[in-house]
Structure 1
């Protein structure tokens, strides 16, 4: 039986100026009962609109839509009684405890006292939140907040659960735990789940996947069926020693016959319709590509590229490849490059809590350096201290040759910063935001105008220059944030989870920009929860509970962990779990001695 059935479903929005925008155009959808079904697609594909139609929070323009055999338009309340919906920004009350949030949502849904006690016990055990019922929601880590949001959504037992990108901004450990919960709910309660996600490995866990773009479905089916779209076109290649994976990726993406290229497992995976032997970047370097089996992401990227080409536009806005020597940020060149950031014995305490404990590292000019860790590990605190946004309790930080403790304003003039959440002025236009931030960095007159025009071109924002920043899709907002951060040509660029919530297509474009900046000598410091992006870094460090666990290049860390072919997700989980296991043993040993 199908829990959701849509035929010819359309949704058209009428703007204030009378223009019509088609968010969904004549789609057919069939979601099986008692299974996990995924929606994947780029920003603006229509995923959230579809979910809101299913919930009865919006009314369709045309077509039919039924949930559990009920017409959503005619009986919206009856449909809402059968389902639970967790939107991207779920409304937890941060000044209430975990238990008080559960009680509040149970009250809102009319859950009886007898029913809620058993339900709460089950949800708290499943989400491992039982020890934290008296903790304020605002004091939880990002992963714990997501699990509490899911528990609040499930205070009643629905037939259908709708999740709109539930794991955005959540680390791999927390994502894995959240998906274990979902799979347990499907297995034990025969719950039907429709989830939209930006992570292809999550979509691969579902029984059925729909690929959505510009309001229409490109293809639907099992993950295996969607992988077949890229069958016979997938290859991997290892760059020569000293060349970052991201440099070879960028040049492969610039080839017309290459559909996609991405660093993974110490190699660059790519998709091409042509003969890989004929690809110029491989021929120049005498590299041999090896055929490999496709992944779900390969099928997804192939479908997107084909669809965009049919619409008459480029699938990926490729950054121009450097005309000089290909990227060679090797260990030798890193040591030779000047140190841009020096951190020694860095400590940050909040009262009795130590967020960062005696951390030391350095970053060299032109290096891409990653700060990674689980939610609550201390990486954002470290990041904010490096940016000069938060003073250190003790230790030394030097940025661009300037001591942050004594000359913070001078140091900040040499850096650009892209915040995790969109932090520009939503009511101002794209152009007005760039003019404001350029002026804040000391640019004026003809120089300011020239830089605005340059970044508008570089980030393909000319067509939306007069649009309000708050009205832009997520991918455009991210590009605007980058443009504002780079308008004064900073020596160092800080990026705080810049790709959170954006799809693989937009992430490729973003990393091409980063590659080009790095090759021009800009130093990049980045935090991310997409562990695959650690492959783009020359080096990265992983923190947990304020302590540095590991520091090195992706290849060095693979060798150290004896996981030569592992994904970065697997390596991250292994490092954090090993450190936590050792810390637990030490704690028990100290307890036994005392």
Structure 2
């Protein structure tokens, strides 16, 4: 790539925040072509946000060179300020202002005035489909609409280069598809986009991908180039009669297997180089157990470049008492015609389902569909307008305190105390759950060991890397060994390796008889659930296993739909 073709050029870039710590970026070099979309992926703490902030001129490099549009961001050139649009990871708008007020504020900051302002605002409102919501407060928008508003504010200055830091986090597949369509249109008009993402299916749509790990550029190339070494190494194990979760753990213990996940009623496996599939006869999984070839995905390349997945055994599950031997499979979570109204708005409308002991039950639906409202009523955070919610036989409207003692809850947003250290949070939450003395100290030590928190015990919770924030939140939710666990998007924003680690804990707890209700926007995670309730416009649209939901929308044109295709088709059919 010749220099004049490059919108971004980085050479031997180093960023070090403290002399005694490893560099956040270590001699990183790459170029980004004009008018292209480049995906920036990597594990939590790989240096993605640091790189974007350097390119935006918000940080100064320790060493090396970087140029954006031929200019040096560290020199704070006014021209470069006009050329760059930067959308940070956290929602950076004003939640107590309306959509129109946020747009006008950003227009003031960009000095977009008069008739030009009106023209740009009209065009952006049409482009993002927010024209109907100009009077709605930003804090009341769904996750997808917030990201669209953030993008509209970023585009007000008509930037040539767009830096997006994980714009798809917390956004459902339909909204992500709309967001992607908008960004693809911008690139077609000549805009250069650098898109940091935790969704590898998103990165697969990029022109090129940069993979960072521990501050270093591990690999770069087109998605096809990165997937090529995986040809012949990806397989689906099907037709087995053994339970899925123990079989997955068995496969992940084998040296031939680098990675594996549950995919409906099959297991998706990635083999080590030159390895062969373990003979079905050795698996004790039934006479019909067999392998089917699978196409490599970018996530497979990501995992293998990092040396493989984290394995399937859970130290947390090993520390958890086995409830399967003493308790039956009766329903322990139930919703009976649950309804929640906010004024004239019906957020949840006559939703009914039940969850059996030891089951992983997923709640799916687009942003604003009512699944979070349903979820919060089931764990006692919201009172139902009508209907009944039960946990372990306790009605949440009449016995909320008894029900809450039976459950653990992990919030979608980091809900622990940011100004307390990790050790102080563990002590505080174990005390709330009634743990004292030697029992409390033993349980804290177990959680520290299970989640590898020792290096962070004296670190303020708000300064933790995202993956460790999530580990701490899960540790605090399970300290009292609850029989029921509510997880609201527990892996939102974390990388695939950390997601697999979390699901090894979730799978292990379920096999010990813990009942788990989970919400997620990762469609691969939906495949891990035993059953799924799909909620849209406040109503229960579909209920069944992942494979049953996929079969529901299968057709001659799409005989083997993915979970994401099923999600989008169910919404489209409901709209029609």
Q: Tell me, yes or no, if structure 1 residue 400 matches structure 2 residue 392.
A: yes
Per mean C-alpha deviation after superposition, the further-off stretch among 56-65 and 120-129 is 120-129
- Residue of structure 2 in register with 1:111 after alignment: 112
Structure 1 residues 210 and 318, CA, compared in 2 at 3 Å: closer, same or farther? farther
Instruction: Name the CA shift for 1:337/1:186 in 2 (closer, same or farther; >3 Å).
Output: same
Of residues 324, 346, 350, the one that matches 1:354 is: 346
Residue aligning to 2:213:
213
**Alpha-carbon contact 2:256-2:276 (below 8 Å) kept:** no
Give 1:464 deviation, angstroms.
2.5
Q: 1:416 aligns with which of 403, 408, 412?
A: 408
Q: TM-score, normalised by structure 1?
A: 0.90
Match of 1:463 in 2: 455
1:28 corresponds in structure 2 to: 29
| Match of residue 80 from structure 1 | 81
- For the residues of structure 1 that align with 2:316 and 2:460, how far apart are their CA atoms? 32
> 2:467 aligned with 1:508, yes or no?
no
1:376-404 Cα offsets, whole Å, 9 max, x none, are 11111111111111111111111111111
* Contact 1:56 1:79 survives alignment (8 Å): no
**C-alpha displacement at 1:247, in angstroms?**
4.1
* Contact 2:169-2:493 within 8 A present in 1 as well: yes
Tell me by how many angstroms 1:133 deviates: 1.8
The CA deviation at 1:122 is 1.8
Instruction: Please tell me whether residue 289 in structure 1 is matched to residue 288 in structure 2.
Output: no
- Alpha-carbon displacement from aligned partner over 1:332-351 (angstroms, at most 9, x marks no partner): x9x97111012111111111
Provide the rounded CA distance (Å) in 2 between the counterparts of 1:305 and 1:199.
19
Does residue 301 (structure 1) correspond to residue 300 (structure 2)? The answer is no
Equivalent position of 1:3 in the other structure: 7
Match of 1:588 in 2: none
**Structure-to-structure mapping, 1:175-190, within 5 angstroms:** 175-187=176-188, 189-190=189-190
State the partner residue of 1:587.
none
- Say which SS state the counterpart of residue 302 (structure 2) adopts: helix
Structure 1 residue 90, shift from structure 2 partner: 3.1
Give the equivalent residue in structure 2 for 1:386. 378
Q: Which residue of 1 aligns with 2:204?
A: 204
CA distance in 2: counterparts of 1:413 and 1:152, whole angstroms: 44
**Structure 1 265/118 Cα, relative in aligned 2: closer, same or farther at 3 Å?**
farther
Q: SS where residue 294 of structure 1 aligns?
A: coil
Confirm or deny: 8 A CA contact 2:45 2:214 kept in the other structure: yes
Spell out the pairing of 1:83-94 with structure 2 (5 A cutoff): 83-94=84-95
Please say if residues 240 and 290 of structure 2, whose CA atoms lie closer than 8 Å, have aligned partners that are also in contact.
no
Q: Conserved in 2, the CA contact under 8 Å of 1:34 and 1:190?
A: yes
Instruction: Indicate the SS of the match to 2:571.
Output: helix
Tell me by how many angstroms 1:64 deviates: 0.6
Structure 2 Cα separation of the partners of residues 137 and 259 of structure 1: 44
- Between 1:290-299 and 1:5-14, the stretch displaced more is 290-299
Moved more, 517-526 or 394-403: 394-403
Structure 2 stretches lacking a partner, 5+ long: none
Q: 1:531 to 1:514 in 2, by over 3 A?
A: same
| Structure 1 position 465, deviation (Å) | 2.7
How far residue 319 of structure 1 moved from its aligned partner, in angstroms, is 2.4
What aligned pairs does 1:72-471 form with structure 2 within 5 A after superposition? 72-187=73-188, 189-238=189-238, 240-241=240-241, 243-244=243-244, 246-264=245-263, 266-273=265-272, 275-278=275-278, 283-285=283-285, 287-305=289-307, 315=310, 318-319=313-314, 337-471=329-463
- Once the two structures are TM-superposed, the CA of residue 212 in structure 1 deviates from its matched residue by 0.5
Query: Residue 468 of structure 2 corresponds to which residue in structure 1?
Result: 476
CA contact (8 A) 2:253 2:311 kept: no
- 1:23 to 1:65, Cα distance in 2 relative to 1, 3 A: same
Shift of 1:467: 2.6
Is 2:561 the counterpart of 1:566? yes
Aligned partners of 1:338 and 1:317: how far apart in 2? 27
Q: How far 1:266 moved relative to its partner?
A: 4.6
- Equivalent residue number for residue 590 of structure 1: none
- Per-residue CA deviation, residues 165-223 of structure 1 (Å, 9 max, x unaligned), is 00100001100000000011111x21100010011111111111000000001110111
Aligned partner of residue 285 in structure 1, secondary structure: coil
How far apart are the structure 2 equivalents of 1:281 and 1:577? 44
Give the conservation status (yes or no) of the 8 Å contact 2:316–2:505.
no
Paired with 1:25 and 1:186, the residues of 2 have a C-alpha distance of: 29
Q: CA deviation at 1:320?
A: 6.2
Equivalent-residue separation in structure 1 for 2:405 and 2:239 (angstroms)? 36
Output one character per residue of 1:492-550: Cα deviation in whole Å (capped at 9) or x when no partner: 00000101000111101110100100000000000111121111111010111111100
CA-to-aligned-CA distance 1:121-141 (integer Å, 9 cap, x gap): 221111111222222222221
Cα distance in 2 for partners of 1:570, 1:166 equals 21
Measure, in 2, the Cα distance between the counterparts of 1:379 and 1:281. 43
1:560 to partner: Cα distance: 2.5
Q: CA deviation at 1:288?
A: 2.6
- The answer (yes or no) to whether the contact 1:146–1:166 under 8 Å persists in 2 is yes
- Alignment partners' CA distance in 2, 1:27 and 1:21: 14
Cα deviation, residue 280, structure 1: 8.5
- The answer (yes or no) to whether the contact 2:271–2:277 under 8 Å persists in 1 is no
Contact 1:56 1:76 (C-alpha < 8 Å) held by counterparts: no
Deviation at residue 489 of structure 1 after TM alignment: 0.5
SS in 1 for 2:306: helix
1:305-358 deviation per Cα after TM superposition (whole angstroms, max 9, x unaligned): 17xxxxxxx8558426999xxx9x9xxx9x971110121111111111111111
- The DSSP-based 3-state class of the residue aligned with 1:284 is coil
CA apart distance, 1:279? 6.6
Distance, in Å, in 1 between the alignment partners of 2:315 and 2:437 is: 29
Give, in angstroms, the shift of residue 553 of structure 1.
0.8
Alpha-carbon deviation of 1:230?
Answer: 2.0
How many angstroms apart in 2 are the aligned matches of 1:236 and 1:507?
A: 20
* C-alpha distance in structure 1 between counterparts of 2:282 and 2:31, whole Å: 43
Contact 2:317 2:509 in 1 (8 A): no
Q: Secondary structure at the match of 2:95?
A: coil
Segment drifting more, 82-91 vs 467-476? 467-476
Looking at structure 1, the residues matched to 92 and 455 of structure 2 have their Cα atoms a distance apart, in angstroms, of 34
Contact 1:266 1:565 in 2 (8 A): no
Q: Which residue of 2 aligns with 1:309?
A: none
| Separation (CA, whole Å) in 2 of partners of 1:242 and 1:125 | 52
SS at structure 1 position matched to 2:35: coil
Cα distance, 1:107–1:58 mapped onto 2, change above 3 Å = same
- 1:558: Cα distance to partner? 2.2
**May I ask how many residue pairs the two structures share in their alignment?**
561
